[in-house]
Amino acid sequence: MADLSDPTSTKFKIRMLFDLSGGVGVIAGEQQFFQIWDEDKGISAVYFRGAAGVQSPGIPFLKRLAAIITSGGLTNCGPWNPFESPAPLNVSNFSGLAMMIGAVAGAFDTKASAAVFEWRSMSSRGNHHFVIHNFQTGETAQIVPSIQGTFGPFVVVLWLAPLNSGAFRYDG
């Protein structure tokens, strides 16, 4: 089997696998899982992001309501978002700090949502800055429409070998 840590690609795809968000008033938090895929090598890695930040209701009359209720939402698996790295990397080389800014328009509604996803990887392969504008997250069902920005660690939790090998590697 090929060495999974060998950096061989500059073209990758990322998608959100799952997001659970919540908050009270202007305080927001998110627990997210992402998958980064090296299509050429046929391997991927799963990343976890736990983040905190601020939120604001998107509809003015909900501002008072948001100050007293807990907001929250779920986002399901989204589409692939292509991106490139400035140097050859492996799917495990993207851990670092990440920020996401986004808005959800519909309360108690399921709509595809988009955000700006930005992170700085800090690995043995160097520090790299990535920004994906209009990051497609998947369908979101949220209690209260909101705009939020969160910041937190972005950490690899699982490597997946080529699907036909039946092997996986856990880095936990």
* Structure confidence at residue 138 (pLDDT): 82
Query: Which residues face 59 on adjacent strands?
Result: none
Cβ(98)–Cβ(118) under 8 Å? yes
Question: Is 4 part of any domain?
Answer: no
Could you report the per-residue pLDDT of 119-128, keeping only the tens digit for each?
A: 888 777 778 8
Query: Which residues face 45 on adjacent strands?
Result: 36, 159
Query: What's this model's pTM, rounded to 2 decimal places?
Result: 0.80
Q: What is the mean pLDDT of the chain?
A: 77
* Structure confidence at residue 165 (pLDDT): 44
Could you report the per-residue pLDDT of 12-55, keeping only the tens digit for each?
A: 999 999 988 877 777 888 899 999 999 888 889 999 999 988 88
The mean pLDDT of 81-108, rounded to a whole number, is 83
Residue keyed to tokens 């989204």: 78
Cβ(17)–Cβ(33) under 8 Å? yes
Could you report the per-residue pLDDT of 133-168, keeping only the tens digit for each?
A: 888 888 877 776 677 788 898 999 987 755 444 444
d(CA 172, CA 157) in angstroms, rounded, equals 6
Question: Is 1 part of any domain?
Answer: no
Question: Is 3 part of any domain?
Answer: no
Question: Is 18 part of any domain?
Answer: yes
Question: Is 5 part of any domain?
Answer: no
Tokens of 53: 């930040």
* Structure confidence at residue 58 (pLDDT): 53
Number of domains in the chain: 1
Q: Could you tell me the end-to-end alpha-carbon distance of the chain, in angstroms, rounded to an integer?
A: 21
Question: Is 118 part of any domain?
Answer: yes
Question: Is 142 part of any domain?
Answer: yes
Q: What range does the domain containing 29 cover? A: 11-170
